[in-house]
Amino acid sequence: MIANAHAGPLLRKLETIVTLTQGERDAIAGLPFMAREIKAGQDLVREHDRPSQCCLILEGHTFRYKLLADGKRQILSFHIAGDIPDLQSLHLRIMDHGLATLGAARVAFIPHEILRPFLHAHPRISDAFWRDTLIDAAIFREWVVNVGRRSAYSRLAHLLCENFVRMRAVGLAGPGSFEWPVTQEQLADATGLSAVHVNRTLTELRDHGLIDLARHKMVVKDWQGLQDAAGFEHTYLHLQTPPEENGTMAS
């Protein structure tokens, strides 16, 4: 029985990539999560910080980013409930990027001094965290390809496909829509496009019947068409059950 409700998002995330025993689930639920409500647009950790704790996303969306000397921003990744985006701070003492909230979010902090011995005592859970970190790296590789080689049309379609699959895997999206509190300026920072180009490309995707846009929500009208537009193939997400096998992508 899971006594700590804060563990739910983390367990759902881990079980998309590994199989946990009941004892391992209970051990994770016993961690001392310290939950906090965070406003939109707030930094959870900044570049050059020396964190003493890791941050688990319980509700809402966050993003990693880098700021350039001229003030321009590159968004490096988006994160959802169940992610621990700063897990690397366990072993890398100085942060080389920032982590901020998109909208209002609920997060839980786990002190390093507790998490390190916990992972030493539970090697299979440690392996699960290591696997999650490797998948994180695979997603980074796909983002490099996305920004460097795909057209604007395919680039945005790919980003939407990725987020749809990841959110469906942990039960955060319906069969044809998902929460998407991302502005066009933020999409521009994530894809290396201008906000005007993002607006024009989203309009193209909508006019071609692939998506529809609502306030803080993305509606996928033609999932196969969106995948084709993106050249999307989900292998790099390394899900235990691929979306087409468990039927979660059916509309």
pLDDT higher than threshold 70 for residue 244:
no
Does the structure show a pLDDT above 80 at 249?
no
CA 187 – CA 194 distance, rounded (Å): 9
pLDDT at 135 over 50: yes
What's the pLDDT tens digit per position in 107-120? 999 999 999 999 99
Least confident range from 15-19, 109-113, 161-165, 212-216: namely: 212-216
Give the strand order in the sheet containing 177-179: 177-179, 217-220, 211-214
Rg (CA), the chain: 18
Cβ partners under 8 Å of residue 202, min gap 6:
156, 184, 187, 211, 213
- Look up residue 174 and give its amino acid: G
pLDDT exceeds 60 at position 188: yes
Smallest CA-to-CA distance from 126 within 136, 112, 116, 135 is with 116
Contact status, residue 122 vs residue 27, Cβ threshold 8 Å: yes
* Global pTM value: 0.93
Pairing of the two strands 105-111 and 211-214:
unpaired
pLDDT in tens, 32-70: 999 999 999 999 999 999 999 999 999 999 999 999 999
How is residue 61 written in tokens?
Answer: 């969306």
What structural domains does the chain harbor? 5-136 (2.60.120.10), 151-246 (1.10.10.10)
Residue 101: which H helix or E strand, with range? strand 98-101
pLDDT-derived band of residue 209, with 50, 70 and 90 as boundaries? very high
